[in-house]
Amino acid sequence: MTTSLAVDPSTLASLHPSMGLELRYKTYKNAQRTWGSHLLSLKQVSRVPESSRKYQQGDPINLIDWKAFARTDQLLVREVRDEASAKIAIVLDLSESTLWPTKENTMTPKGVPQKAEIITRIGIHLAFIFLSVGDFVDIWLIESENRNTPHYKYTPRSGPDLLGVFEELLTKPNEIPTAFEVSEGFSRTRDAGFWVGDGLGQGDFAYFQSNMKKSFFVHVLSSLETNVDWMDNDANYFDSSTELKEYRGTELTKEMQYKNQIDNWLAKTKERTEKLGSYYLNVTDSTSIGQYAGFLEAITKYKGA
């Protein structure tokens, strides 16, 4: 017997590309420096008040705002900030393993979106965010479980175009959107890259990371994979990831064996990702949009050298 779950509007299952999450132009302008998005700090005097900051040891004396010092007794430095568009790469790993749970699967609760849907929502949302602040965005697709590099590429030019592709990806998850063209590999280094997938295919994240100045792995799993409370102890479940195996529900839930294995795998994946110098975030369809927003807020405040 299966149960039906309603989609929680506060979770990633309801994330829409146009949700700004307050990551807009002012966020980039007010940060000291990001990896390219609209911000390059130049050591020159500026008359723009928001460019003021406290004097730091080593700053040139001629940059001190002496009028402000006379008024406040605080040493302030004013800077000119030259805007620069970052080049962003987003890979959506939509290989076969992400098309789970299937509608035909009668053993899982109804109403839980496929991993491919959450990957699409996150990837297109990221593209919309960076496109809205003037960055150059390229989106790549991995469509096959056996592929280790992206095979299709799309360069959005506007928000409406991007939303059209978003709807196409959601309504036709087994098809390549018409806007995508065949494109092998990365022709040049990008300022930042986001790989969004479940980590179960052959995707070569190390190759992807080597072509990015900053890289991020958004590891998307189903809430049914990370929480086995829905399983029936008297039912049989099959694992076809490597070879067909059958498990009794009691075997998977006993002493949290399955849960512990998942947690160990996630910990090792995070460790491997961070050893490459990349950022890691694990989410599911039940992850709150607020938690996801916190991750984006943290990375946009990254201060590079």
Which backbone phi and psi does 93 adopt, to 5 degrees? -85, 100
| Predicted pLDDT at 24 | 43
Q: Is 135:300 a contact under the CB 8 Å cutoff?
A: no
Q: Is 21:114 a contact under the CB 8 Å cutoff?
A: no
| Predicted pLDDT at 304 | 36
| Predicted pLDDT at 177 | 94
Residue 303 tokens read as 């201060």
CA distances from 38 to 31, 33, 206, 211, 224 (A): 10, 9, 27, 21, 39
SS (H, E, C) 132-193: HCCCEEEEEEECCCCCCCCCEEECCCCHHHHHHHHHHHHHCCCCCCCCCEECCCCCCCEEEE
Name the DSSP letter for residue 17: T
| Predicted pLDDT at 11 | 95
CA distances from 117 to 82, 170, 177 (A): 38, 6, 14
What domains does the chain contain, in order, with CATH numbers? 12-27+86-300 (3.40.50), 40-82 (no CATH)
Angle between helices 115-132 and 289-300 (to 10 degrees): 40
| Predicted pLDDT at 225 | 84
Would you write out the chain's pLDDT as a tens digit for each of its 305 residues? 344 455 678 999 999 998 865 544 444 444 443 434 443 333 344 444 445 677 777 667 777 888 888 888 888 877 554 456 789 999 999 999 999 887 666 566 678 899 999 999 999 999 998 888 778 999 999 998 888 889 899 999 888 899 999 999 999 988 999 999 998 778 788 989 999 999 998 899 999 999 999 999 999 999 988 877 655 554 544 455 545 454 444 555 554 567 788 889 999 999 999 999 999 999 999 999 999 988 887 776 543 32
